[in-house]
């Protein structure tokens, strides 16, 4: 049963806490919240970086490619996804002479960026592998949303802290600052009011001293509300300018648009029997050399076909 002594003990503890520790605690929570928001935003920003680079290579391919006849959606998507992955990570790892490359490679390891992008490539290929090619565009937005939202490397900061859970807490942190500030103000007023009962009106000097102490405590208790309002406003600005939700929508849109362009360029979704699986651990020199050779052979094949057509027209 809750007794009067227990209530008074709890109130006295809260009053002491609000006097000594409330504002330092609010300051610590603010700094921790800003740091954590920055880490979450950077992690999601790396997803946006990969989606943006993939989109750029898709448009480069569309601008440079001629009419090459039948083209499988899976083969085309696999080719550009792998090209994006290897050029962003493996090829850069061969040229670490620049200081920025070294810094980026450190962030790749700390935030599991390279591993997360490899999972994106594998999951995307799994999702599109058995799509039935028809005149109707499949649900590419759902596929894009699934491969990003279910990526374990990007859904957790450092691969440990769940980003969605901490993001929800950070979204309500401005309200917590406001409530904490008001709570501290009321506790300070409640602690200062009993002193007025000891005031003797027959003693003007003593009454003035007691009133001065009361006003000092009231003004100090109100500072917690002011601090709560300031931290709430600043945290709201931070949450708005570094919103991972808005960035995630942009990521899904970019990735979906890229897949949509490739779908419209394709003529089927056949899976060649001899097509190799995506391997993030393949030797980078071998991968880049083989891809360059394949592209050159494809260009030579097109040139040879054009020359044959010209010779046929001349002979005719």
Q: Which of 110-124, 185-199, 228-242 has the highest mean pLDDT?
A: 228-242
**In the chain, beta strands by DSSP E:** 156-157, 161-162
- The confidence score (pLDDT) of residue 101 equals 47
Specify the range with the lowest mean pLDDT, choosing from 62-76, 246-260, 273-287: 273-287
Span 298-306, mean pLDDT?
A: 63
Q: What is the Cα–Cα distance from 158 to 176, expressed in whole angstroms?
A: 26
Residue 91 has pLDDT above 70, yes or no: no
Contact 284, 92 (CB under 8 A): no
What is the dihedral angle through the alpha carbons of 8, 9, 14, 20, rounded to the nearest 10 degrees? Answer: 120
Give the model's pLDDT for residue 72: 85
Compute, in degrees rounded to 10, the torsion defined by CA atoms 50, 103, 37, 250. Answer: -20
Residues sharing a CB contact under 8 Å with residue 104, sequence separation 6 or more, in sequence order: 92
Report pLDDT for 270.
82
Every domain of the chain and the residues it spans:
17-271+280-294
Q: Express each pLDDT in 187-235 by its tens digit.
A: 777 766 666 666 666 667 777 777 777 777 777 778 888 889 999 999 9
Question: Between these two residues, 53 and 138, which has the higher pLDDT value?
Answer: 53
Q: What is the mean pLDDT of the chain?
A: 77
Predicted TM-score (pTM) of the model is 0.71
Residue 185 pLDDT level (bands cut at 50, 70, 90):
confident
Better-scored residue on pLDDT, 201 or 77? 77
């Amino acid at each position: 049963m809750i007794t009067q002594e227990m209530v008074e003990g709890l109130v006295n503890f809260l009053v002491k806490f609000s006097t000594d520790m409330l504002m330092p605690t609010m300051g610590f929570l603010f700094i921790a919240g800003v740091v954590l928001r920055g880490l979450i935003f950077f992690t999601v920003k790396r997803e946006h970086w990969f989606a943006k680079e993939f989109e750029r290579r898709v448009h480069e391919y569309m601008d440079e490619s001629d009419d090459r006849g039948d083209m499988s959606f899976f083969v085309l998507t696999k080719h550009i996804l792998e090209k994006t992955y290897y050029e962003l990570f493996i090829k850069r790892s061969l040229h670490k002479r620049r200081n920025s490359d070294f810094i980026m490679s450190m962030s790749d390891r700390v935030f599991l960026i390279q591993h997360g992008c490899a999972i994106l490539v594998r999951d995307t290929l799994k999702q599109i592998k058995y799509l039935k090619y028809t005149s109707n565009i499949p649900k590419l937005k759902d596929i894009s949303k699934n491969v990003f939202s279910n990526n374990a490397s990007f859904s957790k900061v450092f691969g440990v802290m769940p980003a969605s859970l901490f993001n929800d807490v950070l979204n309500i942190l401005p309200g917590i600052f406001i409530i904490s500030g008001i709570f501290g103000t009321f506790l300070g007023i409640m602690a200062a009011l009993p002193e007025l009962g000891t005031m003797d009106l027959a003693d003007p000097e003593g009454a003035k001293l007691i009133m001065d102490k009361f006003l000092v405590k009231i003004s100090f208790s109100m500072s917690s509300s002011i601090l709560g309002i300031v931290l709430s406003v600043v945290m709201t600005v931070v949450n708005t300018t570094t919103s991972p939700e808005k960035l995630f929508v942009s990521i899904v849109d970019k990735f979906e648009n890229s897949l949509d362009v490739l779908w419209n360029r394709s003529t089927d979704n056949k899976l060649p029997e001899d097509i190799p699986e995506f391997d993030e651990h393949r030797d980078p020199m071998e991968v880049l050399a083989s891809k360059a050779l394949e592209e050159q052979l494809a260009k030579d094949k097109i040139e040879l076909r054009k020359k044959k057509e010209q010779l046929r027209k001349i002979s005719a």
